[in-house]
Amino acid sequence: MASKRSFLILCILCMLPVSCMLKKDCVSNESSVLSAVDQISRQNETIEKLIYENNQLRESRNRCRDLLAREKGARPQPADEPDKSDAVSKIEKLKRQNKELEEIREGLTSKINSLKFEIKKRDSIIAIQEGVIQLLDDTKKTIETSLKEQIAKKLFEIEATQNQVKMVFRDTILFRPGSLDINERGKQFLLKIAASVKAKKGQHIRVEGHSDKTPARSYATNWELSADRALAVVRFLHEVAGCDPSTLSAVVYGSSRPLATNDTEEGRRQNRRIELVIHYPKPIE
């Protein structure tokens, strides 16, 4: 029995996802599957026990039938009545056991089919996630290749997670000081990034505007300043770089998400930034 249970667990686990990076949210699902496997194993033990009892009862039933057949032509004896009653009782018990066994089999079949469906669905989702990660990694490598010198000079930072590629630009890298006009260096950055994204179907760019806590000149608050700069980048990506406007969006955070303290000049420089996030808004086909 232990070997059968181990074999069943091994078979189902072999169908489970194998990439840990892609399946953080699948740990609890594996636990659910293992729990179901344990339950199935226990139910299999019950089935085998019932099968054994079924065989015993079948033998008893056959003996009872033989007894009844032999007594058909003989005069009934009072002493035989308990045997007949016992035979009928055992036959009825056998019918109940057979019915219970069939119900258990049907329940197990339903659970196994449900588990197979869930595993297949999860495998499909993981395959899609793997495809997304691969495409984003390709985009990251393309950008790193086209902007190798700029990355080496630490003019901007690029990082990738399992579902997005993020680039961080300090405000002076893209904009003239105190201006909403994108400088020539910033335009070259954005053109190369846009080319990499347009080469991959379905990728979107989210432009996020950030600021420090220093009051902005000519603006009511830093929200307006970071919003205008994020929108300036979005307009450039659409109007100049040729990105589909449906793949572009702007998000404004103002000073609410600092990278460093606003108590030092260096910290404030880090917080004044534009972040470009390349991502897939929905699963790819």
The pLDDT assigned to 125 comes to 61
Q: Answer whether residue 208 shows pLDDT above 80.
A: yes
- What domains lie within the chain, and their CATH numbers? 2-129 (1.10.287), 147-279 (3.30.1330.60)
Give the C-alpha separation, 130 to 225, whole Å: 38
Q: How confident is the model at residue 83 (pLDDT cuts 50, 70, 90)?
A: low
Look at 32-36, 192-196, 200-204, 235-239 and tell me which has the smallest mean pLDDT. Answer: 32-36
Q: Answer whether residue 277 shows pLDDT above 90.
A: yes
Q: Answer whether residue 173 shows pLDDT above 70.
A: yes
Mean pLDDT within 222-249: 94
Give the C-alpha separation, 202 to 49, whole Å: 56
This prediction's pTM: 0.55
Q: How many residues does the chain have?
A: 285
Q: Tell me the two tokens of residue 8.
A: 């069943």
- Tell me the longest C-alpha to C-alpha distance in the chain: 118
| DSSP-assigned letter for residue 229 | H
Q: Answer whether residue 17 shows pLDDT above 60.
A: no
Mean pLDDT within 231-260: 94
Q: Burial of 120 by CB count in 10 Å (0-12 exposed, 13-18 middle, 19+ buried)?
A: exposed
What stretches of 15-152 show up as alpha helix (H) in DSSP? 27-71, 81-146, 148-152
State which of 56-65, 233-242, 253-262 shows the largest mean pLDDT. 233-242
Q: Answer whether residue 207 shows pLDDT above 70.
A: yes
Q: Answer whether residue 150 shows pLDDT above 80.
A: no
The pLDDT assigned to 68 comes to 66
Name the residue with tokens 């917080």. Answer: 271
Give the residue with greater pLDDT, 18 vs 257.
257
State which of 154-163, 218-227, 275-284 shows the largest mean pLDDT. 218-227
The pLDDT assigned to 3 comes to 53
Q: Answer whether residue 29 shows pLDDT above 60.
A: no
Q: Kind and range of the H or E element at 155?
A: none
Q: Tell me the two tokens of residue 226.
A: 């970071």
β 204-210/248-254 pair status? parallel
Q: Answer whether residue 278 shows pLDDT above 80.
A: yes
Look at 70-79, 84-93, 204-213 and tell me which has the smallest mean pLDDT. Answer: 70-79
Q: Considering the chain, what percentage of its residues have pLDDT values greater than 90?
A: 23
Strands (E), 151-272: 156-160, 164-170, 204-210, 248-254
Give the C-alpha separation, 190 to 175, whole Å: 12
Question: Is 173 strand, coil or helix?
Answer: helix
The pLDDT assigned to 84 comes to 67
User: What phi and psi, each to the nearest 5 degrees, are found at residue 262?
Assistant: -90, 10
Q: Tell me the two tokens of residue 62.
A: 């056959």
